[in-house]
Amino acid sequence: MTTAVPRFDGPADVRRGLRQVEYLADEGIAGVVFLAERLAKPVLVEGPAGTGKTQLAKSVAELTGARLIRLQCYEGLDESKALYEWNYRKQLLRIQAQRLGEDSGATWSDIEEDIFSEPFLLTRPLLEAIRADDPVVLLIDEVDRVEVETEALLLEILSDYQVSIPELGTVAAKQIPLVFLTSNNTRELSEALKRRCLFLHIDYPDLDREKEIVQVRVPGIADDLADQIVRIVRSIRALDLKKAPSVSETLDWARTLLLLGTRHVDTETATGTLHVLLKYQSDIEKAAKDLATSASR
């Protein structure tokens, strides 16, 4: 196992780099990414949906020129989908091929050794990330969806960067990958998992950063309009909604307004395009009502 040469000089360096790949990180995000690389620890990213958790992993991969390996978690995920699986069909073929050429003189133990060797191994994302020769970023997406028991699968990888396969022995990482785990916080993750990770909570960005994000991601948008958009979004987020507008929805809205040729958002335009920002009918009604009553305040 070789420790990779430090790729970043400091948090500021990470921040600059991420900006180049159009990800505007704040001080906290850049700091944690930097530490993750220095301490060789995985990062657990938590926060509301649509604030750029998955995008962070992608952008870091792009920045470091690493390959992104992604494991999408779901309920019922198991070893054979996450770690590795023996290629059962190929093993059968191998045994049959042996029978055909009966007199080759190979004993059963030879065959056994043969069919439980690397050519018969199907690597799944986690093992693939460990065995990669090139630099990789491993993204374990929505880790809160797997059962608590399945979480244990991840522990060996996250703390020691190795996978134990009973028939083969322990496969240790050739180089330490950067690991990101994302969680939407639908359940409490186990202490064991949390302990092994650095924790990063990504919340809705503040006004200035969101405006910058809009300007970077929606080229051609006027400064005034961007400013107004993020202010209205902040205003809507302050309401008690089922699902507050995320950054990606702010971007969608900005694109919509740009396409409509809006220069200045008034109450009517805002109310008319609320469905881009909000996804529940009750939320839309509530926000529309609130925007309308601002007139009478």
Partner 1 sequence: MEGGDFLLEELPRGSSAGLLGTVAGFVTELRNAGIPVSLTENLDAVEALRHIPLADRGAVKYAMAATMVKNDAHWKAFETVFDVYFAYRGAEYRLGESPEDQEGEELVRALLGTGPGDGGGMEALSAEQLAELLYRALREGDRALLAAVARAAVLRYAGMEPGRPVGGTYYLYRTLRQLDLDTVLGRLLDQSAPDFPGSDLDDRLLREEYESRLDMLRREVEAEIRRRLVADRGADAVAKSVRKPLPDDIDFMHASREELVALRKAIAPLTRKLAVRLARKRRHGRRGALDFRRTVHHSLSFGGVPADPKFKQPRPSKPAIMVVADISGSVAAFARFTLQLVYSLNSQFSRVRSFAFIDGIDEVTDYFKGTEDIGEAIRRVNSEADVIWVDGHSDYGHALETFWERWGRQVDSRTTVLLLGDARNNYHASQSWVLAEVAGRARHMYWLNPEPRSYWDTGDSILGQYAVHCDGTYECRNLKQLERFVEQLG
Which residues are CB-contacts of 107 (< 8 A; sequence separation ≥ 6)? none
Which alpha helices (H) appear in 43-176, and where do they start and end?
A: 53-64, 79-82, 88-100, 108-115, 125-131, 148-160
Which residues are CB-contacts of 98 (< 8 A; sequence separation ≥ 6)? 104, 106, 111
C-alpha 32/C-alpha 175 separation (Å) is 20
* Phi, psi for 44 (deg, rounded to 5): -95, 115
Q: Of the two residues 100 and 295, which places its CB atom closer to partner 1 in the complex?
A: 295
- Got the DSSP string for 35-52? HHHHHT--EEEE-STTSS
Q: Of the two residues 6 and 110, which places its CB atom closer to partner 1 in the complex?
A: 6
**Binding-site member from 19, 58, 70, 201 for partner 1 (CB under 8 A):** 201
Residues between 212 and 231 with contacts to partner 1, criterion CB under 8 A: 228, 231
46 belongs to the binding site for partner 1 (CB under 8 A): yes
| Residue 74: both structure tokens together | 């779901």
Work out how close the CB of 93 gets to partner 1 at its nearest, in angstroms, rounded to a whole number.
30
Bridge partner residues of 201 (DSSP) = 46
Work out how close the CB of 119 gets to partner 1 at its nearest, in angstroms, rounded to a whole number.
37
Strand 84-86 relative to strand 121-123: parallel, antiparallel, unpaired?
antiparallel
Which x/- pattern over 147-176 shows residues binding partner 1 (rule: CB under 8 A)? x-----------------------------
* Phi, psi for 40 (deg, rounded to 5): 55, 50
Which x/- pattern over 114-153 shows residues binding partner 1 (rule: CB under 8 A)? ---------------------------------x------
Kindly indicate which of the ranges 92-100, 166-174, 194-202, 217-225 contains the residues binding partner 1, using the contact rule CB under 8 A. 194-202
**Binding-site member from 265, 276, 284, 288 for partner 1 (CB under 8 A):** 265
Rounded to whole angstroms, what are the CA distances from 193 to 27, 68, 138, 174, 258?
Answer: 25, 22, 16, 23, 44
Work out how close the CB of 257 gets to partner 1 at its nearest, in angstroms, rounded to a whole number.
13
Q: Of the two residues 171 and 247, which places its CB atom closer to partner 1 in the complex?
A: 247
263 belongs to the binding site for partner 1 (CB under 8 A): no
C-alpha 11/C-alpha 35 separation (Å) is 8
Using only C-alpha atoms, the chain has a radius of gyration, in whole angstroms, of 25
Work out how close the CB of 241 gets to partner 1 at its nearest, in angstroms, rounded to a whole number.
9
Q: Of the two residues 178 and 200, which places its CB atom closer to partner 1 in the complex?
A: 200
232 belongs to the binding site for partner 1 (CB under 8 A): yes
Collapsing DSSP to helix, strand or coil, 188 comes out as: coil
Work out how close the CB of 178 gets to partner 1 at its nearest, in angstroms, rounded to a whole number.
14
199 belongs to the binding site for partner 1 (CB under 8 A): yes
* 47 in Cβ contact with 53 (< 8 Å): yes
Binding site for partner 1 (CB under 8 A): 10-11, 27-28, 31-32, 34-35, 38-39, 41, 43-44, 46-47, 147, 185-188, 191, 194-195, 197-201, 203, 207, 228, 231-232, 234-235, 238, 240, 242, 264-267, 270, 280, 282, 286, 291, 294-295, 297
